[in-house]
Structure formats: structure tokens, C-alpha cells
């Protein structure tokens, strides 16, 4: 399967804006998708905000498996200069929890003389704009179900001495963990033109078949899900949900769209696609593969330079032959 990549032009501008803004920031809030906390954490953001206290917010917790959410919170809270909490955009008073956590991370900030300056970041479609609107009690940020809706930085005043700087959703230029790419696509963080729905659906079903087979059986009225291949399972879903072409052939594209939609709409119940341990294994494998790829690239470049230097050049002092 091809590696999923998506980095629209406005994300380069966001990267520059964060690099400039971070100089005057006290705390960074990174909004994560509670269904895929590892895959939705931006490694480029970690580099840009290095040295700043960070609050990891697992958003959409109402869509995620509670036990795995607890494991991820423990994982993040064990990291230095980091706090983590879980919430969803429908919570009545999330601002109080966020402000409290930020003051714990930067206890010397506060009051009109030293207002708290917080940068909130997150991948596209993670629910950041919806959360901000909940925080301020009005439509301060534009929302939508398409990746990359917010395109401009905004400053929001949550309290007289608490300034929140909102940035557009940003992925990173190169996703080295293949499984993360598919999880991001399944969640809606990647633009629909950047991936093949059938490939993403097959990867999604492979995960669900392993960890949540009963959910699949209940949703699609299927038996022996664990014994099916991913392709057989997708075909069975298509047959059950009427994704048929003429001649009663399964429309695999339509079946894939149904599977992805049901996951995003929480029709399968509360699901988390990765544990801290699983993501650590994927990341280690991705880093190894990326290092090997870079070594091959460097070897090719070195060979090109050597061959270029070995080509005899004519002595121009002798004039034309």
C-alpha cells in the first residue's frame, strides 16, 4: 500500500507562524484525537515548540474507548513538562480545566502584568474550532467536517489574563509511520483526495477485526468476523448494506465509504485505533525504515557525485580541436 501524505500550501504558512509566535508563548496546548492519540500527535510541532510546557488534550473522548484513553493519559503525564487531560467539545465548562492545567504548567504566569499566553495547535479536523467556540460560548472560530477549514491565526481572550492563540490545523510534510497515515485518513484528518478509500477501509477493518470483532458482528449482522480476510469482510459489509452494482456485484468503493463513515459517526461504538505500546512499535519500525531509506538516498547521491567527478573535462586552454 502507498504511504499517505498530505501537506497543503497553507500548512507551510502555519509552520512559519508557529515558529514566530512560539517565542512569546508560555504553554502549548496540542489537541489530539482520543481515537488515535499517537498518530494525531504532530512530531514537527514537537520540534517547533521544544522547551515549552505542553498540555496534551485528548479531544473526542466520547468517541474513544475509556480504558485506552486512561492508558494514553498516563503515557503523556509521565513525560517531562507535560500534562494531559481528556474532554470532548460538548462538555459544559472545559475552559476551567484547561486554564487550571496551563497554570500548573506555568505557575509564574497570571495577572494583568504577566498574562498567560497559550498556543493551541492540532491536526486538521480534530475538533479544535468547535472546542474554541465552546470555550468562549460563541462562534469565534469557523468549523466544518473537512480537513483544513481554519486558515488564519486568531487570538481569543478566555479570561482577562489568559490569551489563547489559535492556529490552522497542520499535518507534517512526511508521515513515516504507515499505520498512522491510514488512521489519520480514517479519522478525517487527511483530505479525501490524498488517499484511496478502499485501502483505508481495509486497514481500518483489519484493526477493528482484531480489537473489536463483536462490534463489527453486531453492526453488520455478521458471523465469524475473525475468520474473514479484510477483503471478505469489506465485501460482506457491502452485501449487508446494499452496496451493489448491476448484476449483484459488490461495489467495493461504496462499501469502503460505508465502513469509514460508520467509524467516523461512532456507529460502531467507542473505539480507539491504537494503544501506546502499539504506536511505539509502529514508530520504531517507521524510524528504522526511514533511516534505511535515507542511507540508500545518501549512497545514491554520493555515487552520483563520484561519477560526476570522474568524468574528464576538456582543457579549454587548448582551444577547439
Q: Tell me phi and psi for residue 263, to 5 degrees.
A: -65, -50
* Residue 297 pLDDT grade (very low, low, confident, very high; cuts 50, 70, 90): confident
With the CA atoms of 301, 291, 38 and 212 taken in that order, what torsion angle do they form, in degrees rounded to the nearest 10?
Answer: 110
When pLDDT is averaged across residues 183-195 and rounded to a whole number, the result is: 88
- Predicted local distance difference test score (pLDDT) of residue 143: 42
Listing from the earlier edge strand, what are the strands of the sheet with 54-59? 82-86, 54-59, 27-33, 116-122, 162-166, 154-159
Rounded to whole angstroms, the Cα distance separating 260 from 302 reads: 44
Residue-wise pLDDT tens digits, 300-314: 877 777 777 655 555
Greatest mean pLDDT among 5-9, 202-206, 310-314 lies in 202-206
- Predicted local distance difference test score (pLDDT) of residue 65: 97
Domain ranges of the chain: 9-166, 196-289
- Predicted local distance difference test score (pLDDT) of residue 194: 77
| 8 Å CB contact between 121 and 32 | no
- CATH number for the domain running over 196-289: 1.10.1580.10
Superfamily (CATH) of domain 9-166: P-loop containing nucleotide triphosphate hydrolases (3.40.50.300)
* Residue 142 pLDDT grade (very low, low, confident, very high; cuts 50, 70, 90): very low
- Predicted local distance difference test score (pLDDT) of residue 151: 44
The SS3 of residue 214 is: helix
**Of 132-146, 200-214, 232-246, the least confident:** 132-146
What b/e readout covers 223-243, taking b as 16+ CB neighbours within 10 angstroms?
eebeebebeebbbbbbeeeeb
C-alpha of 233 from chain center: 26
With the CA atoms of 33, 38, 41 and 42 taken in that order, what torsion angle do they form, in degrees rounded to the nearest 10?
Answer: -140
* Residue 317 pLDDT grade (very low, low, confident, very high; cuts 50, 70, 90): low
Residue-wise pLDDT tens digits, 235-277: 999 999 999 988 789 999 999 999 999 999 999 999 999 999 9
Instruction: State the number of CA atoms in the 13 A half-sphere of 112 facing the CB.
Output: 1
- Predicted local distance difference test score (pLDDT) of residue 313: 55
Q: Tell me phi and psi for residue 22, to 5 degrees.
A: -60, -25
- Predicted local distance difference test score (pLDDT) of residue 311: 53
Residues 6+ apart with CB under 8 A from 27: 52, 53, 54, 55, 102, 105, 106, 109, 116, 117, 118, 119
Amino acid at each position: 500500500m502507498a504511504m499517505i501524505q498530505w501537506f497543503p500550501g497553507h500548512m507551510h504558512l502555519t509552520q512559519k507562524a508557529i515558529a514566530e509566535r512560539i517565542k512569546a508563548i508560555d504553554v502549548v496546548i496540542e489537541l489530539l484525537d482520543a481515537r488515535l492519540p499517537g498518530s494525531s500527535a504532530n512530531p514537527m510541532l514537537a520540534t517547533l515548540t521544544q522547551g515549552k510546557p505542553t498540555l496534551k488534550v485528548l479531544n473526542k473522548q466520547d468517541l474513544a474507548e475509556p480504558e485506552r484513553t486512561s492508558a494514553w493519559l498516563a503515557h503523556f503525564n509521565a513525560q517531562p513538562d507535560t500534562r494531559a487531560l481528556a474532554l470532548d467539545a460538548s462538555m459544559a465548562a472545559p475552559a476551567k480545566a484547561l486554564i487550571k492545567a496551563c497554570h500548573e504548567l506555568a505557575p509564574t504566569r497570571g495577572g494583568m502584568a504577566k498574562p498567560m499566553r497559550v498556543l493551541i495547535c492540532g491536526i486538521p479536523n480534530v475538533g479544535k474550532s468547535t472546542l474554541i467556540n465552546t470555550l468562549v460560548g460563541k462562534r469565534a472560530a469557523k468549523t466544518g467536517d473537512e480537513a483544513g477549514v481554519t486558515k488564519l491565526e486568531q487570538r481569543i481572550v478566555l479570561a482577562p489574563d489568559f490569551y489563547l492563540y489559535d492556529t490552522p490545523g497542520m499535518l507534517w510534510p512526511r508521515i513515516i509511520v504507515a499505520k498512522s497515515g491510514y488512521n489519520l485518513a480514517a479519522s478525517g484528518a487527511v483530505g479525501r483526495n490524498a488517499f484511496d478509500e478502499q485501502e483505508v477501509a481495509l486497514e481500518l477493518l483489519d484493526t477493528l477485526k482484531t480489537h473489536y470483532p463483536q462490534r463489527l458482528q453486531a453492526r453488520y449482522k455478521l458471523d465469524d468476523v475473525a475468520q474473514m480476510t479484510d477483503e471478505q469482510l469489506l465485501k460482506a459489509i457491502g452485501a449487508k448494506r446494499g452496496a451493489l452494482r448491476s448484476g449483484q456485484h459488490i461495489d467495493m468503493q461504496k462499501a469502503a465509504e460505508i465502513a469509514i463513515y460508520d467509524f467516523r459517526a461512532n456507529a460502531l461504538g467507542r473505539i480507539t485505533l491504537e494503544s501506546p505500546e502499539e504506536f511505539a512499535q509502529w514508530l520504531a519500525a517507521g524510524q528504522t525504515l526511514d533511516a534505511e531509506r535515507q542511507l540508500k538516498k545518501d549512497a545514491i547521491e554520493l555515487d552520483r557525485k563520484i561519477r560526476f567527478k570522474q568524468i574528464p573535462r576538456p582543457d579549454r586552454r587548448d582551444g577547439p580541436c
